């Protein structure tokens, strides 16, 4: 199987709201003073539950990495209900919660990826994107394993259809834990921590 480029439809920014109390003082002949009450701090944005309908994460595989995997006869295929297409591999969003103004939070997915070589395979499913820890965690062999590190410095945010939010241009690299799992399974030293995997895009919408 040939590798398909990968794309997804997640980001991490902290929001702080600060309020300053303003005191007003007045004096009379008895030197009595009064103070105006401090202004109430506006509440920080609260996370909202995410809708699953028409939301997804898409990964576009790094071309150089795809070539190296193909040369070494390592194939990558989507695990249903994830699908591969011209735009990449799309993983359906199943839930999670984020702050809509910043996308800080977690995004859950169904499906996954299967890496195969030499009659052996590594199956990574149930992706959870955490935009605060900047990692994508997957279930591999029944254990939760950090699969990808997320670089959010180039993040682009835009409005999508029907009130959706699209976060794109998220660079991803392989974690040390995932590299070890792949190397141990296939008996190679091909996979390294920091290996560029591709670019991720995330589309999310608040649950109605």
Tell me, what's the pLDDT at 50?
A: 95
User: How far is C-alpha 194 from the geometric centre of its chain's CA atoms?
Assistant: 17
Tokens of 7: 């794309």
Tell me, what's the pLDDT at 38?
A: 52
In whole angstroms, give the CA distance from residue 204 to residue 71: 35
Tell me, what's the pLDDT at 45?
A: 79
Residues in the chain: 208
In whole angstroms, give the CA distance from residue 191 to residue 176: 9
Tell me, what's the pLDDT at 53?
A: 87
In whole angstroms, give the CA distance from residue 35 to residue 27: 11
Q: What is the DSSP letter of 1?
A: -
Query: Model-level pTM greater than 0.85?
Result: no
Q: Any idea of the CA torsion for 167, 3, 149, 96, to the nearest 10 degrees?
A: 50
Mean pLDDT per 10-residue section of the chain, whose length is 208 residues: 36 28 39 49 73 94 96 96 96 95 94 97 98 97 97 94 93 98 96 98 92
In whole angstroms, give the CA distance from residue 42 to residue 47: 15
């Amino acid at each position: 199987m040939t590798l398909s480029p990968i794309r997804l439809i997640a980001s991490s920014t902290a929001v702080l709201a600060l309020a300053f109390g303003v005191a007003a003082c007045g004096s009379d002949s008895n030197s009595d003073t009064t103070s105006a009450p401090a202004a109430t701090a506006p509440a920080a944005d609260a996370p909202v539950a995410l809708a699953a309908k028409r939301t997804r994460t898409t990964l576009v595989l790094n071309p150089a990495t795809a070539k190296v995997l193909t040369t070494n006869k390592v194939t990558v295929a989507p695990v249903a209900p994830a699908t591969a297409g011209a735009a990449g591999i799309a993983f359906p969003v199943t839930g999670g919660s984020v702050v809509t103004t910043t996308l800080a939070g977690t995004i859950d997915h169904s499906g996954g990826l299967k890496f195969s070589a030499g009659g052996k395979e590594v199956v990574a499913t149930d992706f959870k994107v955490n935009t605060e820890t900047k990692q994508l965690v997957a279930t591999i062999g029944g254990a939760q394993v950090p699969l990808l590190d997320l670089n959010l410095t180039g993040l682009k945010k835009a409005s999508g259809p029907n009130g959706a939010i699209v976060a794109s241009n998220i660079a991803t690299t392989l974690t040390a834990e995932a590299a070890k799992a792949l190397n141990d399974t296939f008996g190679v030293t091909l996979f390294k921590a920091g290996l560029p995997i591709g670019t991720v895009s995330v589309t999310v919408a608040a649950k109605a």
